[in-house]
Chains A and B, each alone.
Chain A
Amino acid sequence: MFDVTTIRKDFPILSRKVNGRPLVYLDNAATSQKPQQVIDCIVDYYANYNANIHRGVHALSQEATDAYEASRKKIQTHFGIAKSHEVIFTSGTTHSINIVANGFASILSANDEIIVSQLEHHSNIVPWQMLCKTTGAILRVIPMNLEGGLDMDAYQELLCSKTKLVFVNHISNTLGTINPIEFMTQQAHQVGAAILIDGAQSCSHIKPDLAALDCDFYVTSAHKMCGPTGIGMLYGKEAWLEKLPPFQGGGEMIDQVTFEQTTYAGLPNKFEAGTPNVCGGIAFGAAIDYLNTIGFDAIANHEEALLNYATKKLLAIDGLKIYGTTKKKTSVISFNIEGIHPYDIGTIVDKLGIAVRTGQHCTQPIMDFFTISGTVRASFAFYNTQEEIDIFVAAVEKAKMMLS
């Protein structure tokens, strides 16, 4: 039974004060807070079985290796991935994307095409621009519409035999738009292109079934889903991961090394050079366990109720405009109030103990599309409450009064 009061007790940070007031944390799209269960897992690792993994014969090393690999299996099961070695531990979404971008440098030739969407985060645009520069490939962009959705007709027109890779986020970090990734995957495959989906924003709200989705790559970060920072996942179909060259050289990723030649280790080690983030990997698994205990259906229901409630209350404020109004969106509200700079609103609500994000959210193309300099973004998680939204809306009203 979903009970938000009980759930909040799992998160020690939610009972602290900011600027003398109870913290209202509405910056969940930037990073989530951590439950005691995950914090305990991290403490337990360092207190009881910290060791380097995959190499020691001693007991600690074996315990740590077992826990790390058990976590990989947990992630595999959670995402519906066929083989555990298709799960690569990375430092996060950006690292995962760079592994794929780097790999495609050896696959692409001049005049091949890569498609990205206008809704992408800067970290999802820059690696592809760099890749195009080195390979002579061409970057195509799926345009967005006024609601903040992607234009699927334009997407289908862009796809052609030259398309080698499609890159799209599952959910827009700025607008909350849920993109039609099932359709986009099918369409990409019809022209023989691979598709990489950025799940950084989705995995705390949705449990993607990658077997059914059939995408070629899926990437995410643990810290957006109640896990620690510095750990994330690259899922790739086995055939693709075999094909891509390693990203970094070092220990763990090798099979045989002589000064004449090195042969690489098999999957997943080929992409996990050096001592990995062992603790992070284990805690990633603990975070997934935690989310599954609450249940993704319950999470979605609660967040949708929060989204609807907050949307209605915010729209009652005169001059307030919400950006991102597609029917299928997650609990993210980006908005501006006419004549007021988002930075000013963010500063005032911070003084009232509320954490929101202001600015461009690393998505300058979206800002350019709406011809605005930035927005205020409130993003809700399953541990937020209706009461917190009341506090937030009252704070926005107060800010408006002070600033106009």
Chain B
Amino acid sequence: MTIKAIQEELIEEFAMFDDWMQRYEYMIDLGKSLPLIQAKNKTDDRVIKGCQSKVWLEAELKEDKMVFSADSDAIITKGIIAILIRTFNHQTPTDILNANTDFIDKIGLKEHLSATRANGLTSMIKKLKLYATAYQAKLNS
């Protein structure tokens, strides 16, 4: 599936819910299926820093595709990173770098884009794309 198709799928899934509580509960559930980063990889260089909750993110390249794993000490944050990883997992670095992430607004999580959320989506997306940039460079070398 393309990134775009996965995003459409997520928008549809979230559209089933009438209110924010159900959406949040679903997001928390999605967090439970997050591919977890190995404990030994929870190092400082894999942390997305902020003062609210901790997020660790790891990326590998398998057969030219990116494979992500992550974890967070806050479960809402875990749900958010799970949603992002679902869209970007098993995609090529180039596709990830070209992807836009407007779908977040459409699934009703716009508030997490605010600059005051130090561990907000913006910095997670940045870190995901940073890994993609690094692996793209590696593939091209």
Contacts and interface: CB of A to CB of B under 8 A. Distances in A.
A358 B24 contact: no
Interface in A306-365: 341, 343-344, 347-348, 350-351, 358-360
B51 A341 contact: no
Interface string A347-385: 110110000001110000000000001100000000000
B74 A344 contact: yes
Q: Which of B21, B28, B74, B76 has the largest number of chain A CB atoms within 10 A?
A: B74
Contacts of A351: 20-21, 24
A403 interface: yes
Interface in B68-106: 73-77
A57 interface: no
A343 B77 contact: yes
B75 A359 contact: no
Contacts of A344: 53, 74-77
Interface residues on A, range: 10 to 19
A257 interface: no
Nearest to B23: A351
A343 B53 contact: yes
A402 interface: yes
A374 B25 contact: no
B93 to A, nearest CB: 30
A374 B74 CA distance: 11
B76 A347 contact: yes
A266 to B, nearest CB: 43
A343 B76 contact: yes
B32 to A, nearest CB: 12
A341 B74 CA distance: 5
B28 A341 contact: no
Contacts of A374: 51-52
Contact of A359 (B24, B52, B77, B111): B52
Contacts of A19: 20
A402 B24 contact: yes
Contacts of B46: none
Contacts of B21: 351, 402
B54 interface: yes
A359 B54 CA distance: 11
A162 B127 CA distance: 49
A359 B51 contact: yes
A47 to B, nearest CB: 32
A402 B25 contact: yes
A343 B80 CA distance: 13
B26 to A, nearest CB: 11
A95 B70 CA distance: 41
Top 5 A-B pairs ranked by shortest CB distance? A341-B74, A343-B53, A343-B74, A343-B52, A344-B76
Given A351-B24, A402-B21, 5 more contacts: A341-B74, A341-B77, A343-B52, A343-B119, A359-B51
Interface of B: 20-21, 24-25, 28, 51-54, 73-77, 111, 119
17 contacts: A341-B53, A341-B73, A341-B77, A343-B53, A343-B76, A343-B77, A344-B53, A344-B74, A344-B77, A348-B24, A350-B111, A358-B52, A359-B51, A373-B54, A374-B51, A403-B28, A403-B75
Interface of A: 19, 341, 343-344, 347-348, 350-351, 358-360, 373-374, 402-403
